[in-house]
Amino acid sequence: RKEVEQDPGPFNVPEGATVAFNCTYSNSASQSFFWYRQDCRKEPKLLMSVYSSGNEDGRFTAQLNRASQYISLLIRDSKLSDSATYLCVVNRVAETGANNLFFGTGTRLTVIP
Amino acid sequence: DAGITQSPRYKITETGRQVTLMCHQTWSHSYMFWYRQDLGHGLRLIYYSAAADITDKGEVPDGYVVSRSKTENFPLTLESATRSQTSVYFCASSDPNGRGGARTQYFGPGTRLTVL
């Protein structure tokens, strides 16, 4: 079973729409949770961390349910510039003390004019 | 602010050849990582390093060798390239004492490697 599972999409939505992505993780020892964004043929970049209480950053809202091992990302009022692949990422501390990240395969979003 | 750079950006090689991918960061981050990204698998950790002269295996280390003699450099070597190593390789770094701590990783632009 994969460490992190995401719906690969693609999601094609019109500008202004609200879109939600979901993700599940398999290891209950996972400690921290993130959404990264990756543009086509570019490197991943941190979009936002995800906290148990839920957190918001402008049009983006992230939620975490530790009991269900489920993470979500909601994008409101979609912009053309939101078109990208969104990677669900979890963190676990290795025995060596390193913070290792485990990545989902990503959900591709295209916002249509 | 140079950040983290990788070279070469594109590389085509043949099966059996040795290839070294370079990664250089200017932030003096203690942690550095190598990932490969393939369709259907997402990013997978190959090797990581907590500091100079300290390296450890990740999820998919077979066929790869790393070294870290200096904090700023973390080269990845494919000792005898195979077609299955055709991939996009990303280097990343993180700073336990920085904003976001060790959990926030900053990625280089990637190297697209094709093994024929």
Tokens of A2: 């994969």
Is some CB atom of chain A closer than 8 A to the CB atom of B107?
yes
Tokens of B44: 């997978």
Q: How far apart are CA A1 and CA A104, in angstroms?
A: 12
Q: Of A42, A98, A102, which is closest to B31 when you measure between CB atoms?
A: A98
pLDDT at position B1: 57
pLDDT at position A15: 97
Least Cα separation, residue B16 to chain A (angstroms): 27
Which residues does chain B have within 8 Å of residue A91's beta carbon, measured at their own beta carbons?
Answer: 103
Is some CB atom of chain A closer than 8 A to the CB atom of B104?
yes
Q: Do B48 and B71 meet the contact criterion of CB atoms below 8 Å apart?
A: no
In the Cβ-directed half-sphere of A22, how many Cα atoms lie within 13 Å? 6
* Number of Cβ atoms within 10 Å of the Cβ of B25: 22
Q: How far apart are CA A24 and CA A89, in angstroms?
A: 10
DSSP B81-108: --GGG-EEEEEEEE-TTSTTGGG--EE-
Bridge-based pairing of strands B4-7 and B19-25 is antiparallel
Chain-chain contact of B103 with A101 (C-beta, under 8 angstroms) = yes
Tokens of B82: 């195979």
Q: How far apart are CA B9 and CA B109, in angstroms?
A: 8
Q: Which residues contact A110 (CB under 8 A, 6 or more apart)?
A: A10, A11, A12, A13, A83
Least Cα separation, residue B89 to chain A (angstroms): 10
Chain-chain contact of B107 with A91 (C-beta, under 8 angstroms) = no
Q: Of A4, A97, A101, which is closest to B50 when you measure between CB atoms?
A: A97
Chain-chain contact of B110 with A42 (C-beta, under 8 angstroms) = yes
Chain-chain contact of B41 with A105 (C-beta, under 8 angstroms) = yes
Q: Per DSSP, what are the bridge partners of residue A57?
A: A60
Q: Is the pLDDT of residue A87 over 80?
A: yes
* A70-84: pLDDT as tens digits: 999 999 999 999 999
Which residues does chain A have within 8 Å of residue B111's beta carbon, measured at their own beta carbons?
Answer: none
Q: How far apart are CA A31 and CA B94, in angstroms?
A: 17
Tell me which residue of B12, B6, B20 sits closest to B79, measured CA to CA.
B20
DSSP structural state of residue A62: E
Per-residue pLDDT, averaged over B62-88, amounts to 97
Q: Is the pLDDT of residue A18 over 70?
A: yes
Q: Residue B100's pLDDT band (boundaries 50, 70, 90)?
A: low
Chain B nearest-CA residue for A100 = B103
| Higher pLDDT, residue A18 or B42 | A18
Tokens of B98: 């920085």
* B7-35: pLDDT as tens digits: 999 999 999 999 999 999 998 898 999 99
Which residues does chain A have within 8 Å of residue B42's beta carbon, measured at their own beta carbons?
Answer: 4, 87, 103-106
pLDDT at position B104: 81
Chain-chain contact of B107 with A96 (C-beta, under 8 angstroms) = no
